[in-house]
Chain A
Amino acid sequence: MNNPNFDLLMWARGPGFDIALIIFVAGVVLRIVEIVILGRKKDLAPAKGSPVGQGIKTIFSRSIPRKGLVQYAPITYIGGYIFHIGFFVAFFFFGAHIVFLDELLSFSQWWPDAISFQWPAFGRVIIESAVALSVLAMIALMYTRLSDPVRKALSTFDDYLVWVLSILPMVTGYIAVNKLFGDPVFMMALHILSVELLMIAFPFTKLMHAFTFVMARYYNGSIQGRKGAES
């Protein structure tokens, strides 16, 4: 006799994860390698300053909104912050995720004596508050997207798909951990499967910004630096 819910969980942890991992890794590497090799046209003008300093500075400075923009679009900025921070807290500091990342990236394997390389996990109150705030922020962001005619007109299928794929792991994870409804094993399987969908879509949607933002910001900053300007 089998437990179909457990079989689904094992599929999600086994072949499902393998498929998602291959697409995710190959896709991300493909896109980054392509961008780097394509390169940019050589700037023949004499440099008036160093591109490196401004480039590195811009990677961080673009995380801070420009003056006045928070007042101009408060939900977009504040909601954006809450979502990103909440997602990061839940992803990197939930115990079950830490052990997953450790296994995947083999921190403990590379440094056998450094099992303590695993960073400390946050408590349930912090993780679940972060997830709840993240989900609320995403709902608010979707509201502004739909209520503002300009944003609505600019939105593509990609935007809605990415929104659904990003909110699903948080909702299913919250339900699985708290056993809100459904079989807990089934909900855990659903949570892992939702993450796998996110992984599969990752290289082919705007989710790639999680990797490319560094390159893009450095590029923008370095142009200014080369011209002797502040970025």
Chain B
Amino acid sequence: MANKPMLPELMKAHGVSRRGFLKYCASLTSLMALSPAMMPRVAHALENAPRPSVIWLSFQECTGCTESITRSHAPTIEDLIFNAVSLDYHHTLQAASGHQAEAAREQAMKDNWGKYVLVVDGSIPIKDEGFSCIAGISNLQMLKDTAEGAAAIVSVGTCAAFGGIPHANPNPTGAVAVSEIIKDKPIINVPGCPPIPVVMTGVLAHILTFGIPELDELGRPKAFYGETIHDRCYRRPFYDKGMFAEGFDDEGAREGWCLYKLGCKGPTTKSVCATVKWNNGTSFPIEAGHPCLGCTEPDFWDNGGFYKPLSVPAGDYRKLGLAAVGAGAVAGAAGAVLARAGKSKAAAAHENVDAHDLEKKS
């Protein structure tokens, strides 16, 4: 893609100073959990990295992930990083539509076969391929075709990474994650509903500079999904002190106490929400007074209710418990009656025996 400018020209065009660029590289280095000594390498790599072609496929999704990434601190250096890649296909962002759009995708695939990065948001219906189509091509087919020539796949958002909301019970479309279909390509899961913009750009920057980042067992980059929200939450001291909000408008809620009892999933959710935060570092859901929903975890929609605390039973146990009381009482009474009957029977069958009788018997 020789006709597309490299990063230094883009920097100039956006009025970003060298100092500003290096500051961004420093924050990116720390965000990716790399040693500070790696910062010059990040800068060097970003300056000299060839601009890879990126094809962005949107399947069963709400466009929230695209909304999130396009509204990232714009217009700053993050979208410059986005300009550092060649986004050759993206429904929402591209001007072309219909067959022309598909032609652009096919051209990009052909020109960069084996080298392009495939970004997917949204899940793929497999119950019936026809449930979700683009230009007459089913999502399943488009994913298979496009993944074939990809160097790596980034599953952006919980739908693409784990199935997300379309996958939630009863999953009428048979929605699955990208990793359920594509098995022979490196897949980086960037879950979140939506993911934090800087996490998406950070992952792309990592691929650009150092290749595939280190992933956890769920395919998530460890740099962004290594710790739970609970561990980094500014309300954690209240949890440790045993101070909890009991309702959304009680004294505890107003004082900013821990939201555990209101169903916060922070203790089981890995994300950098509490440190990187949202909207240019303004706040994150817990800071806004709402418990974490756990959106970076698989099946977050079905994990026992958003407002049920993690320590509370998830099933409908109440009826079972009452039935158990009844069954226990009946069984106990029956046991006692049987024992009493046995006792009376033994008393009735009692024979007086003296020493002479015993002697006779022996």
Are A and B a genuine interacting pair, yes or no?
yes
Which of A93-101, A133-141, A207-215 is the contact stretch? A93-101
CB of A29 closer than 8 Å to a CB of B: yes
Most buried by B among A29, A30, A94, A184: A30
Q: Looking at the assembled complex, report how far the CB atom of A33 sits from the nearest CB atom of chain B, in whole angstroms.
A: 3
- Contact between chains at A10 and B320 (CB < 8 Å): no
State whether B268 touches A185 (Cβ < 8 A): yes
Q: With an 8 A cutoff between CB atoms, is A1 at the interface?
A: yes
- Measured CA separation A24–B244 after assembly (Å): 30
A18 touches B298 (CB 8 A): no
Partner of A1, one of B180, B258, B304: B180
Task: Let me know if B311 is at the binding interface, CB within 8 A.
Answer: yes
A121 B324 Cβ-Cβ under 8 A: no
What residues on B are CB-neighbors of A7 within 8 Å?
A: 299
- B207 to chain A minimum Cβ distance, whole angstroms, is 20
Contact call B241/A123, Cβ cutoff below 8 A = yes
Is A122 an interface residue when CB atoms closer than 8 A count as contact? yes
Report whether B336 and A123 are in contact in the complex, using a CB–CB cutoff of 8 Å.
no
Given contacts A1-B161, A18-B317, A95-B261, 18 further A-B contacts (CB under 8 A): A1-B163, A1-B180, A6-B268, A10-B314, A13-B315, A18-B315, A21-B324, A22-B320, A22-B323, A34-B332, A37-B336, A38-B336, A99-B260, A103-B308, A103-B313, A127-B242, A184-B267, A188-B310
Binary A-proximity of B286-307 (CB < 8 A = 1, otherwise 0):
0000000000011100011000
0 or 1 for each of A21-37: is its CB under 8 Å from B? (1 = yes): 11111111111111011
Interface size on A, residues (CB 8 A): 52
* A115-148 near B? 1/0 per residue, CB < 8 Å: 1101011111001000000000000000000000
Pairwise interchain contact B268-A184, C-beta atoms closer than 8 A: yes
A6 in contact with B312 (CB, 8 Å): no
- Beyond A14-B313, A121-B244, is A1–B331 a contact (Cβ under 8 Å)? no
B337 touches A37 (CB 8 A): yes
A15 within 8 A of B: yes
Closest 9 pairs (CB-CB, A-B):
A33-B332, A29-B328, A121-B242, A37-B336, A26-B328, A96-B311, A25-B324, A30-B332, A26-B324
Q: In the assembled complex, which residues on chain B have CB atoms less than 8 Å from the CB atom of A25?
A: 321, 324-325, 328
Query: In the complex, which residues of chain A have a beta carbon less than 8 angstroms from the beta carbon of B285?
Result: none
